Structure 1
């Protein structure tokens, strides 16, 4: 069934390429609101995760990286809006705006120039390897952050980097 679906991330090498998504081990989840999603899948190129609605097998993004980060936050930040202004305009928390910006910078979707926050200038291979090894062992993210003594923004810069979770 997943051979018919493709990545919906406009920045991804697998964008609109049917059969480019891979299955995860999760088959079905029922949410508090009663909705049911199945066939959890991800893109091996950009790591965006998707699932299918149980009722009509519609592909939906599990996060907000395409729908909010790419199409809304990116536009406002590139116009020079601050995190607070973007938050007010979109009625989204400043933390979510911060995460959006860091996701896009970390994955080279926008330049670090003139951004309203500071993040590392490059991905340190040793830190990437540390993250990967500890994620594979099932170590919790707050433990990883503490052991590496990373600031919140530094931690997100690595945690939201697509290659960390592939």
Structure 2
């Protein structure tokens, strides 16, 4: 947590407007998701399946992304192979907090922007606020549910690690203590 505070504390504070609870939550999510690595990337097969579901009609939307938006973005591909490659990039998770690539469509951002330190936490707080609105969560009092939502897409989603929520709470506490000095 000290490393995240030292390397990203200013960007996190700027993104959250200095709100201590939201700052601690974003820092803890970064620690849980990527270990605080800016260039972190991983392909998420479950996200790919949800995107395919959106295209096939079994999903109505994914965090505000509609089928029409996805089809329009994919239509820029020159070939079927390029279309599949673009879809795989959308199913990737990028940067400190592992922002899903499909968020780049709504935000009109490049995939590189998702790992840019100056912009990543601005995007992350935008996603955090959107998830909180969609699921009616208060990040100050429901941090565990927000963390689950961030990681699984739902406040009651099943986590890959049973320690995710515990680590999130502890890391938030540590970050908050460091911020107080």
TM normalised by structure 2 equals: 0.23
Higher strand share: 1
Relative to the length of structure 1, the TM-score reads 0.25
- Decide which structure has greater helix share: 2
